[in-house]
Amino acid sequence: MIPTNRIVELSSTIHDQTTKLDAYLTANNLPTPSFDISCPLKLLLPPDIQALRDAVLEATDELIALMLGPVESLIPPPNSWISVTALQRFKIASSFPPTETSTFGEIARACSIPESDCRRLMRHAMTFYIFSEPSPGIVAHTASSKALAEVPPAGAFIGFVAEEMLPASTRLVDAMQRWPGSEEPSETGFALTYATDVPMMQVTSADPRRAQQMGNAMSFLSSRPGENVRHLVDNFPFSAVGLLVDVGGAKGTVGMEIARSAPEIKVVVQDKPEVIKDTDIPEDLKRRLKLMGHDFFTEQPVKDADIYLIRNVLHDWSDKYAAKILRNLIPALKKGARVLVNDRCLPPPGALSLYKARQPRASDLYMKGIQNAKERDSADWITLFESVDKRFKHFEVISPPGSNCGLGKESARHFARLGASKLILAVRNVKAGEDAKQDIQNTTRCSPDVIEVWPLDLASNASIKTFADRVSKLSRVDVLLENAGISTHSWELVQGFERTIAVNVIGTFYLAMLILPKLKLSAEEFGSRPRLTVVSTEVHAWAKFPEWKEPNVFDALNDRSRGTFAERYLTSKLLVVLVARAIAPDLKGSGVILNVLSPGLCHSELAREGSIFLTTMKLFFGRTTEMGSRTLVAAALAGSESAGKYMHNGEVDDQRLSPFVRSEEGQKAAEKVWEELRAILDSIDPGITR
């Protein structure tokens, strides 16, 4: 049952998160969102700030539904696509320049439509903030109409949805009744809509206009941050692969990216002959990349490759046909070969907010309506492979984060340049760690013996213990730099605690407690001042943290109904600061310097790559990864003046701490959190916090 004060809670969330977002925009001299044509088409926000935007959207969506009530919210507006479809079909947004105004009559003549129809359609579009009417009969552009005019792929996507997907969806239920349980691509809502027994893919391919529109629409979709090929390239160790076959790889865009990321790899890109014809292979890739005509419903001709990549293919097909695609790979697979699927994976129920879950669930139904295809969750993917051949093993579903600062890698590069005799890269993905090691060696010319890659998963107590045991066997340890952390948008309990808290707080300080004795011993034996440096963020100051007043803080943070995922991340970074301040006094006289830092807002190339709107405008803000990493190194090398302190921009600056942290209440909260965390850590490893 929804609590009676839910609308007030949502209103408060919207106000609080919007205020924080506005503060960030103001502090960075960025424009506030508006409908004016001067508004940037896309704002690229760092993960911390993007989480605030997501929280506002989620709360607003729920508040609108509550305000509408159960009946009105049940009935979606059936006409919402009418006007935007007309804008696209008649090229209305391009009928006059964005910086000028026009009249309904002038627009109608330019677009060859009756003026009365033009007026009705545009005034409907204006209710969605597309165009405006500053004075009677005078039409002006808004940011959205300008985007429609200046970003053609967006218009192609609108056309594809309006002409193919929406009509098919209106007959989906009819198709389900006519062909119950069908997996055939010719027995669909699309087939009923267009009175055909030919699958949608073939129908659109036979019509040059529709084929081009569909191709441009797919380009628009693939340009979105979540579809960016860098998620694949940056999260799989392609440098360790000899031969890769890209099955259904279209014109080779992805294959080329992979080939450039791994200089030793050889790539074969396969698709139908009519798809790959007239495709030019760049001169620098001609010796390592090959195009091959192949129908993936026939036996795979390339034998004994290391990887068979299937990207954004299987979700276009029902299980029957997806299984056929996979089955045709089997004769080519050598022992140890991998089938790498880069496709959408539906979240489990409850993992996302209803607002965020709506789009992938709608996509699943659209796929059924046009092709009897489907989106799959992790269990569906495993079931699909097992149904094809029981010899498929080692299933792993990985959802790479949308961005990655790479601060740890860049910090390690700095330490290598400073002449460190030994660097341990603690990583969750060992192969990715080895790639980072090689990159650091190539750029610093350090000895291959300097850097070692060790596995570490802060979500696993066993992994943390194993890692710490290895550390204890080292001759000395001078710096423990704890930079790992996550920001998640799905609910998951890890070893009894919400994942964000489990990794960013419990795992972080469990590792610190395990390695602290080695740091103290190093100080004693070598007369050194080892550093324990923990990374937080300046947005810790935005956490509300009402949980500190609850009987048990960590129990309260395990309550799924409390707060948003964005708030949990902020809270986790606040807890890091509080715990560090509580621990620091106990380390006086130990020889170990504990400090906390904020690296500032930073982003990598991956975080900078956004949607197709970036062809018009890019906003780069935040510091580079390399710049941010300097703050980590500065903290890890800081002197005794940094003990127990907060560092910002490489300098001790406790004034950057939130007023709450510096208050008497903050001191009480720090003591309370540390006592509870001590109990948790001692339950994991008795006596560890003594």
Is 396 inside a domain boundary?
A: no
Q: Which residues of the chain have pLDDT under 50?
A: 1-3, 400-405, 601-624
Residues 475 and 378 in one domain: no
Residues 248 and 344 in one domain: yes
Per-residue model confidence as pLDDT tens digits over 339-376: 999 988 887 777 677 888 888 899 899 999 999 999 99
CA–CA separation, 386 and 523 (whole Å): 54
Whether 673 and 576 have beta carbons less than 8 Å apart is answered as: no
What does the CA dihedral 265, 271, 274, 280 come to, rounded to 10 degrees? -10
Is 190 inside a domain boundary?
A: no
As beta bridge partners, residue 307 has 244, 338
Residues 475 and 600 in one domain: yes
Write down the pLDDT at residue 666.
Answer: 94
Phi, psi of 175 (to 5 degrees): -65, -35
Residues 613 and 507 in one domain: yes
Residue matched to tokens 């350090």:
446
Write down the pLDDT at residue 142.
Answer: 92
Residues 615 and 491 in one domain: yes
Is 420 inside a domain boundary?
A: no
Task: Identify the domain boundary among 371, 388, 405.
Answer: 388
Residues 382 and 471 in one domain: no
Nearest to 424 by CA among 451, 397, 389, 392: 451
Is 641 inside a domain boundary?
A: yes
Nearest to 344 by CA among 370, 320, 322, 321: 322
**Long-range contacts, 655-661 (Cβ 8 Å, 24+):** 656/538, 656/598, 657/541, 657/577, 658/540, 658/541, 658/543, 658/574, 659/541, 660/541, 660/545, 660/574, 661/540, 661/541, 661/574, 661/577, 661/578, 661/581
Write down the pLDDT at residue 579.
Answer: 97
Write down the pLDDT at residue 544.
Answer: 86
Helix intervals (H) in 473-615: 499-501, 508-526, 553-557, 565-583, 605-608
Residues 645 and 539 in one domain: yes
CA–CA separation, 204 and 184 (whole Å): 17
Residues 495 and 347 in one domain: no
Whether 510 and 461 have beta carbons less than 8 Å apart is answered as: yes
Give 153-209 as a DSSP string: HHHHHHHHIIIIIHHHHHTHHHHHHHSTT---TTSSHHHHHTT-SS-HHHHHHHSHH
What is the residue range of 616's domain? Answer: 458-684
Nearest to 418 by CA among 449, 451, 453, 446: 446
Residue matched to tokens 């998160």:
17
Residues 465 and 364 in one domain: no
231, 315, 414, 603: the active-site residue: 315
Is 86 inside a domain boundary?
A: no
CA–CA separation, 135 and 68 (whole Å): 31
How do beta strands 243-247 and 479-482 pair?
unpaired
Task: Identify the domain boundary among 50, 72, 94.
Answer: 72
% residues pLDDT > 90 (the chain): 48
Task: Identify the domain boundary among 368, 388, 408.
Answer: 388
Residues 367 and 476 in one domain: no
Is 107 inside a domain boundary?
A: no
Residues 473 and 384 in one domain: no
Whether residue 124 lies in the annotated active site: no
Indicate the SS3 state at residue 135: strand
Write down the pLDDT at residue 622.
Answer: 35
Is 602 inside a domain boundary?
A: yes
Is 242 inside a domain boundary?
A: yes
The CATH number given to whatever domain includes residue 271 is 3.40.50.150
The token pair that represents 260 in the structure block: 């450039």
CA–CA separation, 505 and 628 (whole Å): 22
If one counts the domains in the chain, the total is 3
Residues 507 and 377 in one domain: no
CB-neighbour burial class of residue 335 (10 A; exposed 0-12, middle 13-18, buried 19+):
exposed
Write down the pLDDT at residue 610.
Answer: 27
